[in-house]
Chain A
Amino acid sequence: MPDIYDALAAPARRAILDALAERAEQTLFELVNRLSSDPATALTRQAVSQHLQVLEDAGLVERRRQGRYVLHTLTPEPLRDISRRWLPDSQEQS
């Protein structure tokens, strides 16, 4: 299972997290289109799908089937572990 640091290491995956932060419950189609709005972050559907799997394995993205659609939502809670590791007071501040 990839850890959160591996998941965050790729610029493409950070761009995917940025796009998911804009709205919860996105289909793959919506996510790909958001990324394609900026040529710097444009990726193929297949690439986005593979990156999403890494992010899901790291606990940063939740994939949920609702009826016939598969929806993706940013779940940034694991990022708190990073801040707690080096910023012990961060929990109280949040």
Chain B
Amino acid sequence: MISIHLASVFVTDQERAKDFYTRVLGFELRNDLDLGPGGRWLTVGNPGQVSDAGIPAVELLLEPAGHPAVAPFREALVADGIPATSFAVEDVEAEHARLTALGVTFVQPPTVMGPATTAVLDDSCGNLVQLAQMNA
């Protein structure tokens, strides 16, 4: 069986990303390994999640954005408001209030979009990120 173990977003500043994705968004640091001039192997995961029955816990790689293709790709996505990734939340209104109080910028407040209520925030590391609450 093949399992999803790693997803990634490009970040302009790994130190800033480490702080934003852990302290602000609330993920747990999984790996922070020095890879030399190429940057760090920096991953975060869901709080408390462990590998289960051979299925690895999911990690998000906060990857250096140094490749020359990354900047124009991301600028085009961000200009159109397109998120680099999407995270699940139980209560998007509550997260919007909590994160706004922490100074996070939202480009889209919580809005019912078909089966989900979504919001889109700026991760301050070059990406837009969607929060999605599935409505029963």
Binding site for B on A (CB under 8 A): 23, 26-30, 33-34, 36-37, 45, 65, 68-70
Contacts of A28 in B (CB 8 A): 80-82
Q: How many Å from the CB of B68 to the closest CB on chain A?
A: 18
CB distance from A77 to the nearest CB of B (A): 25
Point out the residues of chain A lying under 8 angstroms from B113, CB to CB.
33-34, 36-37
CB distance from B81 to the nearest CB of A (A): 2
Report if B112 contacts A (CB, 8 A): yes
CA distance A12 to B112 in the complex (A): 20
Asked if B14 is an interface residue, CB under 8 A from chain A, the answer is no
Residues of A within 8 A of B82 (CB): 27-29
Q: Which residue of B lies closest to A49 (CB)?
A: B80
**Chain A positions within 8 Å of B109 at CB level:** 23
A14 to chain B, nearest CB (A): 20
